[in-house]
Amino acid sequence: MRAPAELVLLGHPVAHSLSPRFQNAALRAAGIDAEYRALDVEPARFEEVVAGLARRRLAGNVTVPFKERMHDACDLLTPLARRVGAVNTFWVDDAGSLTGDNTDVGGFDFAVRSVLGAAPRDLTVGVIGAGGSAAAVLAAVETWPGATAHVFNRTAERARLLSERFGSIAQPVDDIGVIEGAQLVVNATTIGLHDDRMPLDVELLSPDAAVVDLVYRPGQTAFVRAHRRRGGRAVDGLPMLVEQGALAFERWFGRSPDRSVMWDALSEGSAAS
């Protein structure tokens, strides 16, 4: 595959994303003459924009609310992207085919290992949400020995349909109390992205439970802060974001980025803000 000279992040809204900051730092460190930028796409124009990017042989990432639509727009899908039903990383191959992959799965697995301090196994996982991010979570869970998941969504039908796709390890629940009793609780919604709302009452979680909030905000989300105040283990979406970005970099350029440079870029940006 010819290395892309320009990379884009497709989303709506997307101005809050930290991806351009750490991806451009990784590109500079690797000596790659390319630029990564965020592109806010109006939902009605998504397929039109993607077709234009494919003609120009651009590559990049996709964030909410387009991961499932990107899956449908691609000419080719990796087995993992097909399994998840969502694409967050794309490129154009040598034959001109728009190709989609999902590096969120690896990013989430990395985040869980970081918060647990060990390889996940024999866990009950409570998943809040039923979109593309929740599908990536379940795709990771089904690789963990002895793990099972309960899926809660405000639209019960979506939780049921997603759980059917991962029927060997997942089942839908109508009572969020089942989620509160899990050993690992995952917020796979956008709740808490713009304010201090929380997906559930943190006081109802076991202090021994681990929390992974896929949302990230400066100073961490209210959900993560509240659980940590109780002595619980919790991490926001930043480790997942950086790791999925590093895995995407590997897909685009065939080599690993300097992950320490990516993290340093975020630290420097926080200090400057």
Q: What is the mean pLDDT of residues 173-201?
A: 95
7, 58, 64, 67: the active-site residue: 67
Q: What is the mean pLDDT of residues 214-223?
A: 94
Give the pLDDT of residue 271. Answer: 41
Tokens of 68: 């499932």
Q: What is the mean pLDDT of residues 82-88?
A: 97
How many percent of the chain have pLDDT more than 90? 93
Dmax (CA) for the chain in angstroms is: 54
Q: What domains sit in the chain, N to C, each tagged with a CATH number?
A: 6-102+239-272 (3.40.50.10860), 105-236 (3.40.50.720)
Q: Is the per-residue pLDDT at 78 higher than 50?
A: yes
pLDDT tier for residue 132 given thresholds of 50, 70 and 90: very high
Tell me how far apart the terminal alpha carbons of the chain are, to the nearest angstrom.
Answer: 38
Query: What does the alpha-carbon distance between residue 173 and residue 187 come to, in Å, rounded to a whole number?
Result: 15
Query: What does the alpha-carbon distance between residue 120 and residue 145 come to, in Å, rounded to a whole number?
Result: 8
Active site residue 67: yes
Length of the chain in terms of residues written: 273
Higher pLDDT, 180 or 270: 180
Query: pTM of the predicted model, to two decimals?
Result: 0.95
Q: Is the per-residue pLDDT at 97 higher than 60?
A: yes
Reduced to 3 states (helix: H, G, I; strand: E, B; else coil), residue 38 is: strand
Give the pLDDT of residue 272. Answer: 39
Give the pLDDT of residue 264. Answer: 97
Query: What does the alpha-carbon distance between residue 37 and residue 7 come to, in Å, rounded to a whole number?
Result: 6
Q: Is the per-residue pLDDT at 270 higher than 60?
A: no
Per-residue pLDDT tens over the stretch 164-186? 999 999 999 999 999 999 999 99
